[in-house]
Structure formats: structure tokens, C-alpha cells
């Protein structure tokens, strides 16, 4: 099974580092509480938003942006379709008229002060009524004083709210230039940072991928050649076979040395056998002469003497045959160091085969040089194309940064006018706040005079306060209406579209289609139009950028990458690095497909070794056992010894002394032959038999080893011939897949990093959110709070005006009534009675009524009805007088006691 380990590609590509040098997050625009944000909900109910009328207003805004209509015309045309705002303006105006109308009505309906002086008659009864009226006026004054105090507290709260909101507006307006400049700086920083991160990811990632491909191309011997070599060695065991053949060489050398010893013994035996054969022939001649010289009587004994020569025994023939054996000669020559020896040929072929097998990795490296050069050429083209594409992105971002800088420079001149308008608004707000505070202080001073029992001054001050309210209400209503028009329109037509998440319908209508910036509708939206205008001249876009403003804002809010959010792949085409894209980079793919390893070096590279081993195996087929047995049976020494022994026995039986002497001499000669030649020959024969035995013992395992190695080598070569091509193809395909995997890894890396972790466009949303936070929460919310506080003060003034005038009248009546009571008491009562009357005046209401009733009843008992009617007046006249204005009607009150208890009583009219 082919291991997959070589296809593992490391994915540790360099990661870009985002900058943190943004100013907007450090400004703290989101900190603090925005108390008047709830007014935006109220304004949304009175606004024709999400109605067909809104599109008319959007057209007005577009015309105003292109200076087709003035700002005043824009407001007037907008008010035509804003019934809610017209109603609010009418309400403000009507509420502002309430103090003036009531003051005029109060002045026209005011009673004269002498209405409280009915005349000097019936002082006791009138005094009783005046006491009751005085108590009623005191109660009314207390209630009015309390209500006016509550209104003044609310007015103070409203003044504080006006002052705080006005300062918040002024502070936000003062901070607006800095915040806008910071936004521009952050936008430029974001563009530079995003471009740097995208360039880093693309270029550094591609550099990493190309470097790894180059390393793999340089290491093709280790990544492709050696795996094939190891795989074949594992499945064929060719290294072990080569080692066994080396062992065969060693065994062959030992076998050759043994044959050399055998041949040496054979040569010496042959030499001795030749001499011995000659001496035996001479001995045979001497024996024949001796037999002929024997007497007739001894002839039969002489004829019994026989001596076997080497021809009879066949020893020389055997030695010659063994000495001239070609197989032994080949086996002996096999271990020699000569160039024509089999061992030399085997060693040479074995060395060549091992060199071919072990040098396969280097051969693969040499064979793939041209393909590797073509791949590197295409990689260089890819790098150049990618750098050119990134350069387009760099130029585009540079143009966008220049445009941001021009916008920042333009904003500097705009903010001068903006500060002037802000100063005017702040002065008007401060003037309205001071005016409201002064009126509130007038009312508060009136209350202070009342607390100090300066009733006349309090009444005059209250009237002055009411008059000031009448004048200030008109001015404050105008200010409130102006602030409401600015704040409400800004809230509804600017802030609401800015916070219309996630659709941003109005923004898309204003900017994308047809857009405030462009008089003509852009083909692909504002973002695509900006990128198209900023891109270098002649840039060929693979596809148009179609990014809506809403989708861009939503994705930036989620922190998506700028590359995917703004579809920059239309400007920087990274699809060319994909191994599956054959449209533009088929040359690189074809070059990668052209690299690989072949099986040619392994096909039949052991055939010569097999031939040599087959010859060696054939040469090892020797029958040394028969030869060894024959040599064992042949022994010329024994034959001569037998002849000498026979010669001694026959000579002992010979009667003829001369014959016997000749036989003894012949025996001596045979003995010398045996000792000088046949004994060494016998030793050599033993040595030859030993060498044959040893050779036989060595030859059989050697032949077995040769046969086994040959069988393994044939199997290995068969596997190489049948499977090497497939193994080389599979390994080459894995190597090519490894090269493609580097490009795929780079593509996946750029896809993941550029879409998720690189160049997050969150800073753009932070800039957008900061600007809308500044305008909507730091300017519009306080501005809405300012007109709401002004409206609250108007409403409180409308309520405070009647209270002030009524309380002023109450103070006036109390003053007149108090002076009359003091005058009456000084004429009719003594000082004690005055003290008692004063005590009664300060007593509770029921005790006052009781004293008056008792006094009236006492007068009724001491006087008649005529005395009360007066002289010359009738009862009818009295009745008619009761109907006249200012007449005093006298009622009689009777106290009825329960069970005679003076504390338990009730009053009734008589």
C-alpha cells in the first residue's frame, strides 16, 4: 500500500498583523447617557416615513444637493407634506398665545377695589363676613402659592435642561471638526492598513507557496526518487538479494581456492605418477627377465609373480581426467581476479545493478530538470502577474486615500461656516435659556415677597411676571419651532435612515440609486463607482463590483474582511492560483503534469546477473562422489607392497640361489620405488580425496545459495518489470499532487484569511457609527431635548400666567380687606376687643363661624327688625336692596345644643 505521508503539506502561512492606530475608538462617543433619545420614537409617529411621500422628499434632497433648490425652499416644500410638524407648530403657537390672551382677559375683567366696601352699616355683620372672606382668600393664596411653587421648580428644571442641552450641542459642534478629521484619518489609516494586509496575504502567501514548490523541486530525489526506491526495495528485497550475491562471491572465492588446492595436488600426483609409472615399467621389465631366467623347476613359482602398473589401475587416467575437467576449471577460474573471470563479471554486473538501483533518486533528479525549469518559469510568471494585480490594488487604494485627503481639506473650509452657524445656534439657545431663567426668577422673587408678607410687592411682581411671560412666550415659541424644525427633520430624515438597520432603505435610495453624489444613476452602486473611478486607467475588471451599501455596512458591522465585502477579487484575480483553473494557467498545470519518474532503469537491469548465476548453477552440477570413490579404491602403493611381499615368499621357496638372489635384489628395487614414489603418491591421493570431499561439501551449499539467489532475483525482476511502472506513476502522481497542494493551500489560505481574518472593515463601520452617533445622539438628541424643554417651559408659562394673575388679585384683595378690618376695629372696639378679634381671626374656621353667629343672635335679641331695616324703609325695600349689587344680606344663625352640652351643637339658618 502506498503511504500518504509524502502528500502532507504544512499550512503554517504567515498571518497579517492589523494596526490599532485608530482614533475614533478613543474618543468615547458612545459613552454617556442620552436622555432625549425617546423623542425619536415620538417623531417617527408624526412623520410620513415609509410612505410614498418620502420619495418626494428624497428628490428634494437630491435637488438641494445639486443646488437646484435653496435650503429655504427645501424646508417649505418639505413642510407641505409634513402635517405632523404643522400641527406641532400650531400647538406651539397656540400655547404661546395663552399667556397673552389670558392676561388681556384678566385685565379687562378685573373688579374695582371699592367693591369690597359695601358701606358703614351693620358693622358687626359685615365684619363677620369680611373675616370669613379673609380666611377664604388665605386658603386660596396658599393653594395658588403652592401650585406656582411647583411650576417654578419645573421651570427651573426646564431651564437647567435647556442650558445642559444647549451646551451639549455647542460642545458637539465644537468637536465635530476634530471628529470628522479623525474619521478621515481613520479612513486613510484603514485603507493603508487593508491594502497592506491584503498585499501581505497575497504576496507573502504566494512567496511561501512558490518557495515550498521550489524546495520540493530541488528535493525531487528525496520526495520522489527515494520513496520509489524504498518501495521497490521493500517489496522486492533487492538489497537482500544483492547481499546474498555478494555472499555467493565470497563462497565462490573459497570454492575456487579449494579447487586450486585440488588442482595442485592433482598436478603433483600426476608428476609422481608419471615417474612411478616409468619405474614400474622398468620393474615390470626386470620381473619379466627374472621370470625367463628361472629354472624349469622354479618356473611355476616365478610365473606366479605379478605387478600392476598404472595402466592397469587407471590411476593416471583418473588423475588426468580430473585434472582436465572443464567444469572444475570454470569453477576454479570463477574465483580468480582476472577480467575474464565469472566472478569479475558478476562483481561488475552486481556493482552496476546496485549503482542503478541506489542511484535512481539522482537519475530522477537529472531526468526532471527540464520539467522543473518549466515549472519555475511558470511560477515566475504567476508571481509577476500577481504582483501586477496587487499593484493595481495599491494604486486604487492610493487614489482613494488621495480622495479622502481632498475631502478632509474641503471639510476644513466647510467647518468655518459650520462653526459660525453653531455659534449662532448656541447664542440663540443661551439667549432663550437666559430669558426663561429671568422670567422664572421674576416669579420666584414674587414668591419670595409673599413669604416675607410683602403682599403688595408680590402682587405687582406677579403681574410683571405675567407680562414678561406674554412677551417671552412668543420669542420662546419661535425658538422652539426653529429648534424643532432642525432637530426633528435631522432626526427623521438623517438619523432614521442612518439607523434603519439592516436594510438602510433610504441610504440606498439616496446614494446607490440614483444617489446624491452622482447626478446620473451609477451602474453598479456607489462602492463600485468609487472603485472604478479610483482604479488606474486601462484596468480590465474581470467582473463588475456590485456591492450595495446596506450589505457593506452589515458585513462591516460583523467584522467581515474587506476583500470579500467589497468584492476586491474583481480587481485582484486570485482564481489563477487554483489548480482546477485551466483557463489562464494551463501552462503551469501542464508543466506540473509533465514532471514524474520513469521505470526504465529497473526494466531488465538484473538479466546479466541472472545469466552469470545460471552459468554458475550449471557449473555446480558435478558428480564428485564417483570420482572420489574410484580414487579411494585405487592404491598403487598397496599393489607394490603386495608384490614385494609375494616376491619375498616366492624367493624363499626358490631353490636356485641365483634366482633367489635376483628376486631379493628385485624386491629391494621395488621397496625403494614404493618408498620413494608410491608413498608420496599415496599421500597425494589421500589429499586429492580429501579435497574432493571438501569440495563436494562446499559445492552443494554454494549451489543451493546460487539457486536461491537466482530464484529471488528472477522474482524481483519480474515484480520490477510488472509493477515498477505503476509504482512510479502513483508516486509521481503523489508528487504532482504535492506540488498542486501548495497552490491549493495558498488558495485556501488566501480565501479563508481574506474573507475572515484579514483587513476587517469594522473600522469603516466604526467611522460610520461614530459620525451618526455624533450627529444623532450628540447633536440631534440635545437639540430635540432643547425644543422639548422650551415647549415644556411654554406649557408651564401657560399654566403659570393665570396662577400668577389670580394670586396677584388674591394678594390685592387680602390687602384691601385687611385694611378695612383694621379701620373698623379701631372705631368700634377697644384694644382688648381688638386683641380678641385678632385672636378670633387667627382661630380655626368653625370657631370663627360660631363667634359670628353668637354675636348676630345677641344683636337679634336686643334689637327689633325695624331697627335693622332702618327708619322709613319697608321689608320690600329691604328685599329689593338684597338684589342690588354690593348689598349686604344679613342671615340669622341659631346654635342648637344637644343634651345641654355646650360643646355638642350645630348651626342652622333662621
> What φ, ψ does residue 366 adopt, rounded to 5°?
-70, -35
**Three-state secondary structure of 130-142:** HHHHHHHHHHHHH
- Alpha-carbon distance 891 to 907, whole Å? 12
> Please, which residues have CB within 8 angstroms of residue 494's CB and are 6 or more apart in sequence?
775, 776, 780
Q: Would you call 707 exposed, middle or buried from its count of C-beta atoms within 10 A (0-12, 13-18, 19+)? A: middle
Q: Using a pLDDT cut of 90, give the percent of the chain over it.
A: 10
Q: Which residue pairs from 886-894 have beta carbons closer than 8 angstroms and sit at least 24 positions apart in sequence?
A: 886/115, 886/118, 886/119, 887/118, 888/118, 888/119, 888/121, 888/122, 888/125, 888/126, 888/129, 890/122, 890/125, 890/856, 892/856, 892/857, 892/860, 893/849, 893/852, 893/853, 893/856, 893/857, 894/853, 894/857
Tell me the three cell numbers of residue 361.
533518486
DSSP 843: S
Report the residue count for the chain: 910
Please determine, for residue 702, whether its predicted confidence score (pLDDT) is greater than 70: yes
Q: What gap in Å lies between CA 774 and CA 780, rounded to an integer? A: 9
Calculate mean pLDDT across residues 779-798.
Answer: 90
Q: What is the predicted pLDDT for the residue at 453? A: 57
Q: What is the DSSP letter of 893?
A: E
Q: Which residue has the higher pLDDT, 227 or 589?
A: 227
Tell me phi and psi for residue 908, to 5 degrees: -145, 145
- Residue 532 makes CB contacts below 8 A (sequence gap 6+) with 524, 541, 545
Alpha carbons 469 and 446: distance in angstroms, whole number: 14
Identify the H or E element spanning 513: none
- Helices 360-367 and 226-236: crossing angle in degrees, nearest 10, is 140
* Euclidean distance between CA atoms 498 and 494, whole angstroms: 6
pLDDT for 68-125, tens place per residue? 555 566 556 666 656 677 787 888 888 888 888 888 888 887 655 444 444 444 454 5
**3-state helix vs strand vs coil in the chain, percent to 5:** 80, 0, 20
Beta bridge partners of 895: 907
Query: Which of 653 and 181 is assigned the larger pLDDT?
Result: 181
Instruction: Enter the C-alpha cell of residue 104.
Output: 388681556
Mean pLDDT for 532-546 is 76
- The stretch 886-892 carries a mean pLDDT of 44
Q: Tell me: the pLDDT tens digits for 841-870?
A: 443 333 333 333 333 333 333 343 433 334
- Specify the range with the lowest mean pLDDT, choosing from 6-15, 338-347, 691-700: 6-15
Burial class of residue 514 in the structure, from the number of CB atoms within 10 Å of its CB (0-12 exposed, 13-18 middle, 19+ buried): middle
3-state SS track over 639-650:
HHHHHHHHHHHH
Q: How far is CA 173 from CA 382, 509, 783, 904, in A?
A: 53, 28, 11, 75
CA pair distance 781, 139, nearest whole angstrom: 43
Whole-angstrom Cα distance, residue 643 to residue 307?
6
Position 582 confidence tier, pLDDT thresholds 50, 70, 90: very low
**pTM value > 0.85:** no
Amino acid at each position: 500500500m502506498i503511504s500518504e505521508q509524502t502528500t502532507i503539506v504544512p499550512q503554517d502561512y504567515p498571518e497579517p498583523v492589523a494596526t490599532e492606530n485608530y482614533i475614533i475608538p478613543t474618543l468615547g462617543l458612545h459613552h454617556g447617557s442620552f436622555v432625549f433619545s425617546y423623542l425619536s420614537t415620538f417623531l417617527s409617529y408624526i412623520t410620513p416615513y415609509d410612505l410614498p411621500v418620502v420619495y418626494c422628499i428624497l428628490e428634494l434632497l437630491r435637488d438641494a444637493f445639486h443646488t437646484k433648490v435653496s435650503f429655504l425652499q427645501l424646508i417649505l416644500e418639505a413642510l407641505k407634506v409634513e402635517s405632523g410638524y404643522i400641527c406641532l407648530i400650531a400647538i406651539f403657537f397656540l400655547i404661546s398665545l395663552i399667556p397673552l390672551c389670558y392676561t388681556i382677559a384678566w385685565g379687562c375683567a378685573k373688579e374695582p377695589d371699592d367693591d369690597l366696601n359695601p358701606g358703614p352699616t351693620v358693622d358687626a355683620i359685615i365684619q363677620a363676613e369680611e373675616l370669613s372672606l379673609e380666611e377664604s382668600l388665605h386658603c386660596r393664596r396658599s393653594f395658588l402659592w403652592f401650585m406656582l411653587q411647583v411650576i417654578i421648580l419645573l421651570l427651573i428644571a426646564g431651564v437647567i435642561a435647556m442650558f445642559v442641552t444647549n451646551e451639549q450641542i455647542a460642545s458637539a459642534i465644537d468637536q465635530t471638526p476634530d471628529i470628522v478629521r479623525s474619521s478621515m484619518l481613520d479612513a486613510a489609516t484603514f485603507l493603508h492598513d487593508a491594502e497592506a494586509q491584503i498585499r501581505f496575504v497575497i504576496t507573502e502567501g504566494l512567496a511561501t507557496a512558490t518557495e515550498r514548490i521550489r524546495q520540493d523541486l530541488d528535493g525531487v530525489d528525496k520526495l520522489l526518487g527515494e520513496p520509489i526506491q524504498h518501495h521497490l526495495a521493500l517489496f522486492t528485497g533487492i538489497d537482500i538479494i544483492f547481499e546474498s550475491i555478494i555472499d555467493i562471491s565470497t563462497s565462490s572465492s573459497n570454492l575456487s581456492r579449494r579447487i586450486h588446492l585440488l588442482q595442485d595436488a592433482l598436478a603433483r600426483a600426476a608428476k609422481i605418477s608419471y615417474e612411478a609409472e616409468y619405474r614400474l615399467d622398468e620393474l615390470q621389465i626386470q620381473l619379466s627377465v627374472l621370470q625367463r631366467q628361472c629354472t624349469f623347476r622354479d618356473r611355476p613359482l616365478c610365473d606366479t609373480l605379478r605387478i600392476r602398473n598404472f595402466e592397469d589401475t587407471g590411476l593416471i587416467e583418473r588423475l588426468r581426467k580430473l585434472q582436465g575437467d572443464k567444469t572444475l576449471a570454470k569453477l576454479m577460474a570463477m574465483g580468480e581476479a582476472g577480467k575474464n573471470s565469472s566472478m569479475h563479471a558478476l562483481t561488475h554486473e552486481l556493482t552496476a545493478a546496485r549503482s542503478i538501483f541506489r542511484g535512481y533518486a539522482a537519475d530522477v533528479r537529472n531526468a526532471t530538470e527540464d520539467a522543473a525549469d518549466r515549472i519555475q518559469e511558470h511560477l515566475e510568471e504567476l508571481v509577476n502577474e500577481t504582483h501586477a494585480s496587487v499593484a493595481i490594488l495599491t494604486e486604487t487604494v492610493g487614489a482613494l486615500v488621495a480622495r479622502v485627503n481632498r475631502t478632509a481639506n474641503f471639510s476644513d473650509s466647510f467647518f468655518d461656516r459650520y462653526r459660525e452657524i453653531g455659534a449662532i445656534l448656541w447664542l440663540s439657545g443661551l439667549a432663550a435659556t437666559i430669558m426663561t431663567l429671568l422670567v422664572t426668577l421674576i416669579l420666584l422673587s414674587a414668591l419670595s415677597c409673599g413669604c416675607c408678607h410683602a403682599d403688595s410687592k408680590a402682587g405687582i411682581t406677579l403681574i410683571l411676571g405675567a407680562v414678561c411671560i406674554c412677551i417671552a412666550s412668543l420669542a420662546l415659541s419661535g425658538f422652539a419651532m426653529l429648534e424643532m424644525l432642525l432637530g426633528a427633520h435631522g432626526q427623521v430624515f438623517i438619523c432614521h435612515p442612518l439607523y434603519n438597520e439592516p436594510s438602510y432603505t433610504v441610504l440606498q435610495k439616496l446614494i446607490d440609486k440614483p444617489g446624491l453624489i452622482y447626478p446620473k444613476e451609477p451602474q453598479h452602486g456607489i462602492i463600485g463607482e468609487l472603485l472604478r473611478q479610483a482604479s488606474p486607467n486601462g484596468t480590465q475588471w474581470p467582473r463588475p463590483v456590485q456591492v450595495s451599501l446596506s450589505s457593506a455596512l452589515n458585513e462591516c458591522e460583523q467584522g467581515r474582511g474587506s476583500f470579500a465585502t467589497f468584492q476586491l477579487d474583481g480587481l485582484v484575480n486570485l482564481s489563477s492560483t487554483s489548480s482546477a483553473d485551466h483557463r489562464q494557467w494551463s501552462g503551469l498545470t501542464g508543466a506540473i503534469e509533465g514532471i514524474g519518474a520513469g521505470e526504465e532503469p529497473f526494466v531488465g537491469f538484473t538479466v546479466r546477473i541472472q545469466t552469470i548465476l545460471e552459468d554458475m548453477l550449471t557449473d555446480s552440477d558435478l558428480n564428485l562422489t564417483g570420482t572420489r570413490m574410484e580414487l579411494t579404491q585405487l592404491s598403487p602403493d598397496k599393489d607394490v607392497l603386495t608384490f614385494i611381499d609375494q616376491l619375498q615368499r616366492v624367493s624363499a621357496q626358490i631353490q636356485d640361489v641365483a634366482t633367489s638372489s635376483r628376486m631379493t635384489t628385485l624386491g629391494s628395487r621395488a621397496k625403494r620405488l614404493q618408498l620413494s614414489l608410491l608413498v608420496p603418491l599415496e599421500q597425494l591421493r589421500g589429499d586429492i580425496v580429501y579435497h574432493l570431499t571438501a569440495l563436494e561439501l562446499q559445492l552443494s551449499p554454494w549451489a543451493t545459495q546460487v539457486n536461491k539467489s537466482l530464484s529471488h532475483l528472477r522474482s524481483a525482476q519480474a515484480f520490477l518489470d510488472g509493477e515498477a511502472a505503476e509504482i512510479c506513476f502513483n508516486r509521481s502522481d503523489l508528487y504532482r499532487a504535492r506540488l498542486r497542494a501548495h497552490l491549493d493551500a495558498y488558495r485556501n489560505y488566501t480565501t479563508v484569511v481574506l474573507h475572515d481574518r484579514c483587513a476587517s472593515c469594522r473600522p469603516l463601520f466604526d467611522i460610520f457609527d461614530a459620525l451618526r452617533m455624533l450627529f444623532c445622539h450628540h447633536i440631534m438628541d440635545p437639540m430635540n431635548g432643547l425644543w422639548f424643554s422650551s415647549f415644556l417651559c411654554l406649557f408651564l408659562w401657560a399654566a403659570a400666567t393665570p396662577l400668577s394673575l389670580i394670586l396677584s388679585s388674591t394678594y390685592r384683595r387680602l390687602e384691601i380687606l385687611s385694611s378695612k378690618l383694621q379701620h373698623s376695629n379701631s372705631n368700634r372696639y377697644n384694644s382688648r376687643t381688638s386683641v380678641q378679634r385678632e385672636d378670633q381671626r387667627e382661630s380655626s374656621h368653625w370657631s370663627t363661624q360660631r363667634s359670628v353667629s353668637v354675636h348676630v343672635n345677641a344683636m337679634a335679641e336686643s334689637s327689633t327688625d325695624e331697627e335693622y331695616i332702618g327708619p322709613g324703609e319697608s321689608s320690600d325695600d329691604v328685599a329689593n336692596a338684597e338684589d342690588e349689587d354690593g348689598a349686604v344680606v344679613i342671615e340669622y344663625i341659631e346654635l342648637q345644643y344637644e343634651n345641654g352640652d355646650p360643646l355638642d351643637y350645630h348651626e342652622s339658618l333662621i
